[in-house]
Amino acid sequence: MDSSLHAAPAVPAGYGLETVVRHTYERTRTDTSGALADYIPELALVDPDRFGIAAVSVEGEVVSVGDADVAFTIQSISKAFAFCLALEVAGREKVLSRVGVEPSGDAFNAIVFDAETNRPFNPMVNAGAITVSGLLVEHLGADALDFVLDRFSAAAGRRLVVDEAVFRSEAETAHRNRGIAHLLTSAGALTAGVDATLDLYFRQCSILVTAGDLARMGATLANIGENPLTGTTAFAVDAVRSTLAVMFTCGMYNFAGNWAFDVGVPAKSGVGGGILGVVNRQLGIATYSPRLDGRGNSVRGIAAFRELAEELGLHLFDPTNRGSAMLTAFGR
């Protein structure tokens, strides 16, 4: 293991959350490795040097640094929130009859189903996420997109919109996802129709957010579905619990095991360059940096989360009780 992951940065005694976030930003911003997601033409046009970090606590503390207010498309991070909504709309039993909750170990766009159930492995890979979009269309029809935008916006604390240019770019080049949707239909996991399902899926992935938006959305999940800044309920409590569990085991593509080992918080990444992390009942954290590694995860985002997890004691299984550092960071 890289020993640098456990080398304690020189953060001043009595530091606060903002100090830690800013220090992490400075420590990780010089890493320019990775590449843009050029298989979606519009994503190849973004500024590769953008980098921002934001954090929002369930007490309402807000911290941001760098390009935390720069808009980008949510991409696969939307999968976590869509799954949460599907659990509420369609019910746990029906959702689990269509998509599993097991890590696949395969790439996010793999055309592989569970051999035992003939269903997608989990809702965080494309096949499972397309199935989830199909469930939303099946239950909500033409109102599905408005429902998704309303709930995502409630979690973000402002009205979110779809980037139409990215939507068109995805729709025109997503031959693999169309193939997956047809296979899902033949397997009985998708019943809402390929075109309507993919239209919702591409549009939900093309919703514009900032790192600040994602941090507020993460804080909403951390606060069991209620936006801590507005008091608005965006997600059902039981659905939040199930969503965080699947994010922890499956949210970082085929890097999920390493993420759980090093960072240890529920998370979801997207090829737009965002990563969302949720510290249950405490904190939402988001990073934006569009240079990706070979698995589709933001290089600087992973580095920043490793720093933050180490400095604040965020790991779910941290044995040293350094979670008390979180209380210090929030000034409590």
Sign for the pseudo-dihedral over CA of 68, 332, 264, 88: negative
Residues 6+ apart with CB under 8 A from 106: 112, 121, 125, 254
223 appears as a binding residue in the annotation: no
End-to-end, the C-alpha distance of the chain in Å comes to 34
DSSP state of 120: -
pLDDT digits (tens, 9 = 90+) for 279-289: 999 999 999 99
Q: What is the pLDDT of residue 117?
A: 74
Q: Give me the helix-helix angle, 194-205 and 144-156, nearest 10°.
A: 20
Q: What is the pLDDT of residue 200?
A: 97
15 appears as a binding residue in the annotation: no
Q: What is the pLDDT of residue 115?
A: 61
254 appears as a binding residue in the annotation: no
39 appears as a binding residue in the annotation: no
pLDDT digits (tens, 9 = 90+) for 221-267: 999 999 999 999 999 999 999 999 999 999 998 899 999 999 999 99
Whole-number Å distance between alpha carbons of 204 and 218: 17
25 appears as a binding residue in the annotation: no
Q: What is the pLDDT of residue 238?
A: 95
Q: How far is CA 12 from CA 131, 299, 331, 332, in A?
A: 48, 26, 14, 17
Q: Which regions of the chain are under pLDDT 70?
A: 1-15, 105-115, 320-332
User: Would you call 110 helix, strand, or coil by DSSP?
Assistant: coil
Contact status, residue 149 vs residue 216, Cβ threshold 8 Å: no
Rounded to two decimals, the pTM is 0.91
Domain range annotation of the chain: 14-329
Q: What is the pLDDT of residue 4?
A: 39
Point out the residues that are catalytic: 76, 79, 201, 253, 271
Give domain 14-329's CATH architecture: 3-Layer(aba) Sandwich (3.40)
Place of tokens 């090093």: 262
